[in-house]
C-alpha cells in the first residue's frame, strides 16, 4: 500500500459540505489558529480506518503527509504513527517518538495533538525523563504547549499526576483559549481518579486561572461546589 493509494482513498471520501463545516469549526480563517488548513470533510473514524491499512508506510512517506496542507492527510499520518507505536518494540518506539518530535510542525491543530500526543509522546515518556514536556510547555508555539499538557494524559491514566500539575502551573497565565481548555480538561481527568488532588490544586490556583480553564476543570463537580469556585466563596 503506497502513499499515492492512501491519498486516493482519502480523496474518494471527500465531503464538500462537511468540509465547509469543519473549516469553520477548526478556525481556518485569516488570523485564526487554523489559518489555511484545508479539509476534505472526512469523519475521524473513516480516516482512522483508512490509516490502519497503511501502517507500513515509511517514515519518508509519513514526513510527506505531515507536511501536507490537507488536514486529513496529516491526521492519517499521526494515526499511522500511533498504530506503528502500539505494535513496536522499545527500539522502534524510540525512533517513532523522535520522528514525532522532529516533525511535529505538522501536528498543528488540537485534534491532531489530542489523538496522538498521549499515545506516542506520553506513553514513551512514562518511565523516562520528562524534561522535554517542560521545554515544550514554555514554547512560543501554541501546538508545542498543547502537546506538553495533553501528553500527560498518559501519566494520569497510570495515577501519576505530578507532571500534569507542574505543567498546569506553568500554563496558568497562558493567553490562548485552547491551552485554557486543555489544562482544565487534564485537571478534570485527575479529578475523575482522585478528586482530592484536583481540589487541592484548584484551591491554591483557581483565583488566578482563566475562567475557561476553571470551568473545564470543575465541570463534573457537584453543583454547590462548582458555584462556590465560580463565585470565589469556597
127-179 pLDDT, tens digit per residue, is 999 999 999 999 999 999 999 999 999 999 999 999 999 999 999 999 999 99
Here the cell at position 180 is: 485554557
Q: What is the pLDDT of residue 151?
A: 98
Whether the per-residue pLDDT at 111 is higher than 90: the answer is yes
Count CB-CB contacts under 10 A for residue 103: 19
Contact status, residue 180 vs residue 195, Cβ threshold 8 Å: no
Q: What's the pLDDT band for 5 if we cut at 50, 70, 90?
A: very high
User: Which domains occur in the chain, in start order?
Assistant: 1-124 (1.25.10.90), 129-234 (1.25.10.90)
Report how far residue 114's alpha carbon sits from residue 150's, in angstroms, rounded to the nearest whole number: 6
Average pLDDT, the chain: 97
- Nearest residue to 188 (alpha-carbon basis) of 168, 170, 208, 173: 168
Q: What is the mean pLDDT of residues 46-51?
A: 97
197-211 pLDDT, tens digit per residue, is 999 999 999 999 999
Whether the per-residue pLDDT at 103 is higher than 90: the answer is yes
Q: What is the pLDDT of residue 125?
A: 98
Whether the per-residue pLDDT at 13 is higher than 90: the answer is yes
Amino acid at each position: 500500500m503506497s502513499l499515492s493509494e492512501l491519498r486516493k482513498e482519502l480523496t474518494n471520501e471527500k465531503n464538500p459540505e462537511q468540509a465547509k463545516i469543519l473549516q469553520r469549526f477548526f478556525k481556518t480563517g485569516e488570523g485564526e489558529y487554523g489559518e489555511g488548513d484545508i479539509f476534505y470533510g472526512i469523519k475521524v473514524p473513516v480516516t482512522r480506518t483508512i490509516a490502519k491499512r497503511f501502517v507500513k508506510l515509511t517514515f519518508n512517506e509519513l514526513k510527506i503527509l505531515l507536511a501536507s496542507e490537507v488536514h486529513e492527510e496529516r491526521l492519517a499520518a499521526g494515526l499511522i504513527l500511533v498504530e506503528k507505536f502500539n505494535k513496536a518494540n522499545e527500539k522502534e518506539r524510540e525512533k517513532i517518538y523522535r520522528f514525532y518530535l522532529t516533525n511535529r510542525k505538522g501536528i498543528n491543530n488540537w485534534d491532531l495533538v489530542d489523538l496522538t500526543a498521549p499515545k506516542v509522546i506520553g506513553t514513551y515518556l512514562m518511565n523516562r525523563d520528562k524534561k522535554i514536556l517542560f521545554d515544550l510547555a514554555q514554547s512560543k508555539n501554541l501546538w508545542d504547549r498543547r502537546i506538553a499538557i495533553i501528553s500527560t494524559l498518559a501519566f494520569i491514566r497510570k495515577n501519576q499526576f505530578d507532571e500534569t500539575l507542574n505543567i498546569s502551573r506553568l500554563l496558568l497565565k497562558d493567553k490562548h483559549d485552547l491551552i485554557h481548555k486543555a489544562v482544565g480538561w487534564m485537571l478534570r481527568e485527575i479529578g475523575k481518579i482522585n478528586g482530592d488532588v484536583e481540589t487541592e490544586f484548584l484551591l491554591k490556583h483557581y483565583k488566578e486561572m482563566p475562567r475557561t480553564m476553571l470551568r473545564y476543570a470543575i465541570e463534573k463537580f457537584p453543583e454547590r461546589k462548582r458555584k462556590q469556585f465560580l463565585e470565589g466563596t469556597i
